[in-house]
Structures are given as C-alpha cells and as structure tokens.
Copies of this chain bind each other. A is one copy, B any other.
C-alpha cells in the first residue's frame, strides 16, 4: 500500500524534528517551527501526535537509525580503500565534518547531557539509542572484543565529539585527531582473546 498524504506529512514532520532536536536541543525548537519546516501550520500537529514528547520519541528513533545507517554506508565505502572496519568507524565519527554539523550527526553526542532530564518515555528511547550505538560500535570492533569494551569505546567517541564541539576550532580538531589516534592504536594488531 502506498503511503497516504497524511503518512507523507507525518514523515516530513518527524524528519524535520529529528534535525531540529540535534541542532537546537530538546527544547530548542517549538512545535510551530517544526511544522513550518515540514511545510505545514502548527494547528494540524495534534492530528499526528498526542503530545510534543510523542514526536520527540519518534524523532530520536529516526535520528538514531538514520545516523547509524549513514555511518554504516560511509564505512563500507571507506573499507574498499583498505583499513579495518573499526578504523573506518573512528575516522568517520571523529571527523571534522561531524564536529561541524550536529544536525545530521549522532543524536547521543547532540543530546546526552539532557537525556536524564526528560520525561520517562523520552528517557526510554534514549536508552534504546545508546544500546543501538554500542551495538554498532561492537560490530565494528575486532572479533573478541566484548560489549562492555564497546560501551567504553562509545563513551570515548561521544565524549570526544562533544568536547571538541565545545572547544571548537584548532583545539577541537586536535582533540578529535588524538582520540582517533588513541582508539585506532588500541584496536590495531590486537590478538583476539
């Protein structure tokens, strides 16, 4: 069945919101602005969602899935040029381009310090996003690495991206570079245990 007109609108709203929250934070953009970005007026919002938070939950899921999908795609492309899967991930995630653009980047780096302050439904989705990212990192690590290790690596990447964004400029780029180096060194020529 092809998507109805309403489905298409719904989709555009979620898409706009997924970018808006990454750019401006959970409370940075209002319902009216999101609707406008989706080419609609704010009055129709509640025909699509029970509340603003209900949209936020969908937007987080969308942002996380899209980001993981696009990371995976870039990794595949890099792999054809040689190097390990993990190296490709680290170089893509900790790239200057990711530092500059929050809007279509990692939702966790964009929102993590605000996550604990959200309503329970939103926090639930936040946990799912973290789990999904840890799983993605785990899949990129050399065989033998366990999920706990993947979680620590995830924390390192997320923390570095955030601090780099805060520092900005040269200092930010330098932190990204050193984190890339530290992580790739640690997971290159490793003997699976």
Contact = CB atoms under 8 A, between A and B. Distances in A.
Contact of A160 (B24, B155, B163, B179): B155
A117 B160 contact: no
A78 interface: no
A157 B155 CA distance: 8
Interface residues on A, range: 35 or more
Interface string A127-148: 1001000000000000000001
A148 B28 CA distance: 33
A162 to B, nearest CB: 5
A111 interface: yes
A114 B113 contact: yes
A133 to B, nearest CB: 9
Given A113-B114, A114-B25, A152-B179, A126 B174 contact: no
Q: Is the contact region of chain A dominated by helix, strand, or loop, or is it mixed?
A: helix
Contacts of A167: 127, 130
Contacts of A175: 148, 151-152, 155
Given A155-B175, A159-B162, A175-B152, A113 B116 contact: no
A4 interface: no
Contacts of A179: 152, 155
Contact of A155 (B108, B151, B159): B159
A110 interface: yes
A103 to B, nearest CB: 12
A84 interface: no
Interface in A54-97: none
What are the nearest 9 A-B pairs in CB distance?
A159-B159, A155-B159, A155-B160, A148-B178, A113-B113, A156-B156, A158-B159, A112-B162, A115-B166
